[in-house]
Chains A and B, each alone.
Chain A
Amino acid sequence: AQSVAQPEDQVNVAEGNPLTVKCTYSVSGNPYLFWYVQYPNRGLQFLLKYITGDNLVKGSYGFEAEFNKSQTSFHLKKPSALVSDSALYFCAVRELGFQKLVFGTGTRLLVSP
């Protein structure tokens, strides 16, 4: 069965510093991996996805994620955090042949001025 783990409930970072939000996954085949962001009282917004190819994926708002097959990880990164990046971030996985997403429990990112 597919599963996703986001080991940190909350990540705190100062504005201007680099940020990392961690995600590890488990699938039986090749994974499709996604990151979504949720602002208060809003639905989820797509940030980026890994399907195949280059292990470094670039997405919206300056975010990027690195796919590491040996570590089964897909960490979200940004070189310089903004206060406006403060939100809830979800990692999700699905397998080839399936269209259902399995989500992690979410990580709250708090960027302080």
Chain B
Amino acid sequence: DAKTTQPPSMDCAEGRAANLPCNHSTISGNEYVYWYRQIHSQGPQYIIHGLKNNETNEMASLIITEDRKSSTLILPHATLRDTAVYYCIVRDTGANNLFFGTGTRLTVIP
């Protein structure tokens, strides 16, 4: 699986959009981009995933660049409960591991 690069930490004001970047310059054509988050040592929680097109669900939006070398997770209206470590993972659907790096620690500030 391709490795990803994320900033170690970010702050966001409550109610504003949180934009979390991820670089995955070695991604291959059959690898998806997944985002998970981990709130205060709980089990990681699936957020969203995509291959080429931008995706949106009830939790977030995922913007993938045309060359697929980077992506951005957008939380449109961050709340205090969104404070967590966010992991960007690229993975072939046939692979048997999610490689968790150290992620981005997002702190939502009141």
Same complex for A and B? Answer no
Which residues of chain B have a CB within 8 Å of any CB of chain A?
Answer: none
